[in-house]
Amino acid sequence: MISRQLLERLKSFRVNDTNKNNMADAFPDTLATVLTMFTIRNIYGEEQALLYDWRKKVKFKINLGYAIANEYFDTFDEIILDFVKSYNYRKATPDGKFYEFKIEFPEQAIAEFESVCNAFKGRTWNDLLEDFINALRNLLDSATIHGDKFQ
């Protein structure tokens, strides 16, 4: 999982600390780094990083920066979901075979995240930041592999 402390620290990215253009550069890069630190604990108790599509990470950073710079905050859900839906987990068996498992997000959690993000239209960055981080944390906490929650 992603450390709750890391997500909470993202709430400090306020526009009054820096200008909007710097925020449009710094926040997507920092959030992308945090989202790539997502880990899973396997059945042996070993923590392993989840894999993701690096092209979607690049697209994520570009699109999120553009959305912040142009105040298209209600598009955050599409940008985030496109990236996190690329998460997967690979497991090697003792006989050398690899199995890939897709990380899934329940439809209800996706709908709640979309609803929160769609309500951002017309709001300011400082006004929506805490709601965004909380909604993102709730979405990530809902992640499953074949319906089973993981820690």
Q: What is the pLDDT of residue 49?
A: 80
Asked if residues 140 and 31 have their Cβ atoms less than 8 Å apart, the reply is no
- Contact of 26 with 61, CB cutoff 8 Å: no
**Distance between CA atoms of 55 and 124, rounded to whole angstroms?**
29
Whole-angstrom Cα distance, residue 140 to residue 123? 23
pLDDT in tens, the chain (151 residues): 556 788 888 998 888 755 777 888 899 999 999 998 877 766 667 777 888 999 999 999 999 999 999 999 999 999 999 999 999 887 777 788 887 788 889 999 999 999 999 999 999 999 999 999 999 999 998 888 765 555 5
Say if CB 67 and CB 76 are below 8 A apart: yes
Contact 30, 10 (CB under 8 A): yes
Question: Looking at residue 100, what is its pLDDT?
Answer: 79
Separation CA 88–CA 102 (nearest Å):
4
Distance from C-alpha of 120 to C-alpha of 122, rounded to nearest angstrom:
6
Whose structure tokens read 């997502």?
38
Residue 63 to residue 48: CA distance in whole angstroms: 28
Strand partners, 103: 145
Where in the chain are the domains? 4-149
